[in-house]
Amino acid sequence: MRVCSLIRPLAAARVAVVLALALGAGGCRGPQTSAAPEPTPLHARGVAEPSGLCASVSELRSWGVLDEAGAIVATSRGRCLGPVEHPADGRLWHLVAQLQPVDAERSSWELHTWIDDAGQPRHAEFRTPEVVTRMTWTPSGLLVRRLGDELALGPESAALWPTPNHGLFVREVMLRLGVGLGADGVARHLGWIPEGDRAVTLELRVRAGGSGGLAEDGAGTVLALEADRPELAEPALAQLGLSSVMAGERLLYRPLDPSQDALAPFLPRVPKPRYRPPAELERVPVEVAPERSGEPVLVGELVAPRDVEGPLPGVVFLSGAGPQDRHGIVPDSPVDMGSHAIHDALARAGFAVLRVDDRGVGESGIGDNPTPGFDELVDDGRRALATLAAHPRVDPSRVLIVGHGEGALRASIVAGERGRKRSKAKLRGLIVLAAPGRNLRELIYDEIRASMVGRRDAEIRAVLQRARSVHDAALSGGDLPASSVGARQWMIEAFAEDPLARLGAVRAPILAIQGGKDFQVSAERDFGPVRALVEARGAPGSAALLFPELDYLLAHEPGVSTPGHYADLRRGVDEALLEALVEWARARVDA
Domain regions of the chain by residue span: 42-260, 287-438+498-590, 440-496
pLDDT at res. 445 = 93
Report how far residue 92's alpha carbon sits from residue 120's, in angstroms, rounded to the nearest whole number: 10
**3-state SS string for 265-324:** CCCCCCCCCCCCCCCCEEEEEEEECCCCCCCCCEEEEEEEECCCCCCEEEEEEECCCCCC
- Between the two ends of the chain, the Cα-to-Cα distance in Å is 69
Phi-psi label, residue 51: left if phi above 0, alpha if psi -120 to 50, beta otherwise: alpha
For CA atoms 556, 558, 559, 565, give the dihedral sign.
negative
Q: In what helix (H) or strand (E) does residue 170 lie, and over which residues does it extend?
A: helix 168-177
pLDDT at res. 15 = 25
* Residue of 119, 116, 98, 120 lying closest to 107 (CA atoms): 98
Q: Is the peptide bond before 311 cis (omega within 30 degrees of 0)?
A: yes
Q: Are 142 and 158 in contact (CB under 8 A)?
A: yes
For CA atoms 53, 55, 60, 63, give the dihedral sign.
negative
Report how far residue 359's alpha carbon sits from residue 99's, in angstroms, rounded to the nearest whole number: 40
Report how far residue 380's alpha carbon sits from residue 386's, in angstroms, rounded to the nearest whole number: 10
Q: How far is CA 212 from CA 26, 33, 223, 251, 547, in A?
A: 9, 18, 11, 20, 59
In CATH, which superfamily holds the domain spanning 287-438+498-590? Alpha/Beta hydrolase fold, catalytic domain (3.40.50.1820)
Give the three-class secondary structure for 200. strand
Amino acid in position 365? G
For helices 440-451 and 457-476, the axis angle rounded to 10 degrees is: 160
Q: Can you list the residues of the chain whose pLDDT is less than 70?
A: 1-44, 209-224, 228-234, 246-248, 419-423
Q: Are 344 and 428 in contact (CB under 8 A)?
A: no
Q: How far is CA 205 from CA 220, 534, 587, in A?
A: 10, 69, 67
Report how far residue 481's alpha carbon sits from residue 372's, in angstroms, rounded to the nearest whole number: 18
Phi-psi label, residue 228: left if phi above 0, alpha if psi -120 to 50, beta otherwise: alpha
**3-state SS string for 397-421:** EEEEEEEECHHHHHHHHHHHCCCCC
**Strand 427-433 with 510-515, pairing:** parallel
Report how far residue 551's alpha carbon sits from residue 556's, in angstroms, rounded to the nearest whole number: 7
Long-range contacts at 326-330 (CB < 8 A, ≥ 24 apart): 326/300, 326/301, 326/355, 326/356, 326/357, 326/362, 327/275, 327/355, 329/273, 329/274, 329/275
Name 37's Cβ contacts closer than 8 Å, sequence gap at least 6.
Answer: none
For helices 374-390 and 406-416, the axis angle rounded to 10 degrees is: 60
* Residue of 305, 314, 259 lying closest to 283 (CA atoms): 305
Report how far residue 393's alpha carbon sits from residue 304's, in angstroms, rounded to the nearest whole number: 9
> pTM to 2 decimals?
0.86
Report how far residue 304's alpha carbon sits from residue 354's, in angstroms, rounded to the nearest whole number: 9
Report how far residue 176's alpha carbon sits from residue 52's, in angstroms, rounded to the nearest whole number: 10
pLDDT single digits (tens) 23-47: 222 233 333 344 445 556 666 678 8
Longest dimension (CA), the chain: 101
pLDDT single digits (tens) 164-204: 999 999 999 998 999 988 888 888 889 999 998 999 888 88
Name 529's Cβ contacts closer than 8 Å, sequence gap at least 6.
Answer: 437, 438, 500
Q: What letter would DSSP give residue 539?
A: P
